[in-house]
Structure formats: C-alpha cells, structure tokens
Amino acid sequence: MLQVRDLTLRYPNGKLALSRFNIAVSAGELVIVLGGNGSGKTTLLRCVTRTLMPTEGEVRVNGTDLAPLRGERLRRARLELAMISQHASLVRRRSVLANVATGALGRLGGAWTALGGLPTSELAAAHGHLAEVGLAHLAHQRAGTLSGGQAQRVAIARALAQRPRVLLADEPVASLDPEAAEEIMRLLRRLAAEENLAVLCVLHQVELAYKYADRVVGIREGVMAFDLPQAELSRETVRQLYLSEAA
C-alpha cells in the first residue's frame, strides 16, 4: 500500500537528513519506526506527506508516486494519506463532531463547504467514526474541552473521515499518560486490522513498539538501521540503535 524507495533528502546547507531510505507498509499492517532525537523519523513522515520535498526517491501510495506531483494532483493523491501528530491539532472552538467531519473536506467540493458548512451525510459518517473511537457521547462538546487522550482519539476519527488507505502517526502518544498511550496504540492496532489500513507510526516508547507493532524499523542519522518483524527484534538491537545515537 505504501512504498518508499530510495528516499533521500538533502537540505540546502548540504546536510543529509534521509539517505536512500526504503520502507513498505502493507494494508492491515502496523509498522513502528524507532530512533533517537534528530535521527530523521519525522523528516521521513514529512517527506511521505510531501510537506517536505524529497531530493530523490519515490513515495508510492496505492501505486501512485507522490514525489513528482504538484498542486491539484498532489492534493488529490494526498487524500489517500491521513496524518496524526503529537498534538491533536483540533479547532478548539468547534464541536468534536464538526472537527471529525472536516476530515472529509478534501473529498467535498461546492459552495456549502466553501462557506463553512458540512453536509448532513458527512456529519452522520463522522458520528460513526466517533463511535469507532468510543467518543460518540462527546460529539457535541467543544473540542477545546477534551483531555489529551480524548483529543488524540478525535484526531484519529478525523483521519478516518478522510477514508485514507495509509495512516501516518508522528509520535501520537508523546504527550499522553501511559494509560491513554496504551489506549491510542490499541486503537491504531485495531484500525489497521479492521479498516485494512497501512499504519506507519513513529514512536519513542520501545515497549509500545514490542507490544503493538507487526514490524519495527530503526532509523539512525537518516539511514535505515534495521527492519525486522516484531518477534525478531532483540533488546540488544534496540539498545545498539540508541547507543549509537548517543555516541
């Protein structure tokens, strides 16, 4: 579903942020990327979403290469990719339901949505997505009143409203307490399986990677250090990843 080939990003100052990075995530699979601070994890996701323009390489989503696309073609291709980040990034003064329904905006045209309206059918679908993340009872509450864990679940529901094939998550549990973090990871695990989503998740919590990942990818200084099924990932391999970062 998601195929990244030889992805390279060199900044104008010559610094190599990603070097010939390869990764593939299939439908229904949850792949977790581990690595120290500044290792290139977030840069990888930003290149995949094309928020950053890679210097070389391919980012194929369902067969379409996003790397060379521009403008409207890029916008359309990006509809297949949904992204959640460390902070839920909800519009605080809007209702939870409206926030979720805005995930569908990319698929919707017309004057009504341009004027700030949302179709009833999308609001109903948004309610369904809220139910999927267990927050249907908060649909009409303001997003600004939610706890961190609830807000992150709403962000996931918004991503589902987009009807993506690939879900990218950039440290989605970084600002959550352990219980809320487990809840989010369980949810991502379930969505990968039930919605047949390809989930690529950047994490700092090694234990969560052991518990929830199908595969774990290590990244160090923009280069892939390992790509292993979770069952084959040894403690020593992970220790070496962070040790070499610290050195």
Partner 1 sequence: MSEATAPVAWDPRPPGGALAAAKRIGIGLILVLIIAQALIVVEARPQDLITGVHGMADIIRRAVPPDFSKFGSELWPALETIDIAIFGTVVGVILAIPLAVLAASNVSPSRPVYYVARSIIGFCRAVPDLVWALFFVTAVGLGPFPGGLALAVHSIGMLGRLFAETIEQMDMAPIDALALTGARRIQIFTHGVVPSVLPSLLGISLYRLDENIRSSLVLGFVGAGGIGFQLLTAMNLFQYQEVSLLLIITFVIVQAAERLSAILREKIS
* Interface with partner 1 (CB under 8 A): 49, 51, 75-76, 78-79, 81-83, 85, 87, 89-94, 98, 102-109, 113-116, 155, 158-159, 162
Instruction: Look up residue 230 and give its two tokens.
Output: 């979770």
- Please give the distance of CA 185 from its chain centroid, rounded to a whole number: 12
Instruction: Give, for 226, the enclosing helix (H) or strand (E).
Output: strand 223-229
Q: What is the CA radius of gyration of the chain?
A: 18
- Nearer Cβ to partner 1, position 68 or 229? 68
Query: What's the min distance (Å) between Cβ of 206 and partner 1?
Result: 21
**Which H or E run includes 126?**
helix 120-132
Q: Minimum Å distance from CB 22 to partner 1?
A: 23
Q: Which is nearer to partner 1, 22 or 113 (CB)?
A: 113
| Residues 56, 31 contacting (CB under 8 angstroms) | no
Nearest to partner 1 of 151, 192 (CB atom): 151
Of the CA atoms within 13 Å of residue 45, those in its CB half-sphere come to: 25
Q: Name the minimum Å distance from CB 109 to partner 1.
A: 8
Are 104 and 96 in contact by the 8 Å Cβ rule? The answer is no
Residue 170: φ, ψ to 5°: -105, 100
Taking the complex as a whole, the smallest distance from the CB of residue 76 to partner 1 amounts, in Å, to 7
* Token pair listed for 13: 């100052």
Q: Which is nearer to partner 1, 75 or 190 (CB)?
A: 75
User: Residue 90: which of 134, 165, 43, 145 has the closest Cα?
Assistant: 145
Whichever of 81 and 233 has its CB closer to partner 1, that residue is 81
Minimum distance from residue 114 beta carbon to partner 1 (Å): 5
Nearest distance in Å: CB 82, partner 1: 7
Judged by CB, which is closer to partner 1: 157, or 216? 157
